[in-house]
Amino acid sequence: MYIDTHAHLNSPALNNKLEEVIKEAQDNQVKLFIVPGFDYETSVKALELAHKYPFVYAAIGYHPTEIKGYTEKEYKWLEDHINDDKVVAIGEIGYDFYWDTTTKEEQTEAFIRQIEIAKKANKPLIIHSRDAIQLTLDTLKETKASTIGGVMHAYSGSLEMAPLFINENFYLGIGGPVTFKNAKEIKKVVENIDLKYLLSETDSPYLTPHPYRGTENGPKYIPLIVNEIVSIKGINQEETEKVLLENAKKLFKLE
Ligand SMILES: [Zn+2]
């Protein structure tokens, strides 16, 4: 059985077909889901889904491009819900300089504030980092985020940088891009980094793996990602499945 450690079942795009998406995933042995929020509404929704389904866990948090205009109210909501039994992490939070809806200062403030909330509750982080890999590492170090650890969701840094995140107690989230023919660096990461530091994730409905690119992604495609890891590393399928599940259970303290 598999886990999808990053499935946006809270995406408004899935509102009308959520049962179907879950069923298709279960038919493909994907039986556990972590649903990260990216803004206030999707964090509320993630928590709602986690309370509705025993096999869904929530992460709550605000993505760096979504924090514009957020006030005490939104952060208070995080503080009020971080200790919920079904909230397993704060996320997704971090930096994104691909879009320019928020400034570096705004992103830094929101990122650090949410790291502090997670530290207080002793829950790990789900990190989004786009065009900001070094700054992300610097911030994790400065805030001593290693005390809680987490995952570099959709890891897109170099092989050289991977151990630096692992040193800070971060796993590397491996998703659809590992199946892309031209994704040489992430294939190198998977080949060279020990399986015990990797997590399986889809980021659905985004980042659809090969050969379904151009269509909507779903947690049902986790086996494609795991198979790619198996083939790159040349290791045993069942063992890989087992270790990836154990990694997630350990990080997110799932029972
Ligand atoms: Zn995401």
* pLDDT tens figures, 17-66: 999 999 999 999 999 999 999 999 999 999 999 999 999 999 999 999 99
From ligand 1's centre to the CA of 73, what distance in Å?
23
**Cis link prior to 92 (omega < 30° from 0)?**
yes
From ligand 1's centre to the CA of 12, what distance in Å?
13
From ligand 1's centre to the CA of 6, what distance in Å?
6
**Apex 154 CA angle, 150 and 159, nearest 5:** 90
pTM above 0.95, yes or no: yes
From ligand 1's centre to the CA of 204, what distance in Å?
8
Q: Taking Cα atoms as reference points, which of 33, 24, 28, 76 lies closest to residue 52?
A: 33
From ligand 1's centre to the CA of 203, what distance in Å?
5
Which of the residues in the chain have pLDDT under 70? none
3 state DSSP class of 96: strand
From ligand 1's centre to the CA of 36, what distance in Å?
7
For residues 245 and 3, the answer to whether their CB atoms sit within 8 Å is yes
3 state DSSP class of 58: strand
Q: Taking Cα atoms as reference points, which of 131, 132, 141, 185 lies closest to residue 167?
A: 141
Distance CA 148, CA 154 (A): 19
How confident is the model at residue 96, as a pLDDT? 97
Residue 222 to residues 175, 199, 228: CA-CA distances in angstroms?
8, 11, 10
How confident is the model at residue 255, as a pLDDT? 80
From ligand 1's centre to the CA of 108, what distance in Å?
18
Q: Where are the beta strands (DSSP E) in the chain?
A: 2-4, 30-36, 56-60, 87-96, 125-130, 150-152, 170-174, 198-200
Distance CA 37, CA 39 (A): 6
Residue 200, classified by CB atoms within 10 Å of its CB into exposed (0-12), middle (13-18) or buried (19+), is buried
**β 125-130/150-152 pair status:** parallel
From ligand 1's centre to the CA of 206, what distance in Å?
8
Task: Give the list of residues 6+ apart from residue 56 with CB closer than 8 angstroms, or none.
Answer: 9, 33, 34, 35, 49, 50, 86
Distance CA 205, CA 216 (A): 6
Distance CA 215, CA 134 (A): 32
Question: Which two tokens mark 189?
Answer: 């990461």
From ligand 1's centre to the CA of 138, what distance in Å?
21
For residues 162 and 189, the answer to whether their CB atoms sit within 8 Å is yes
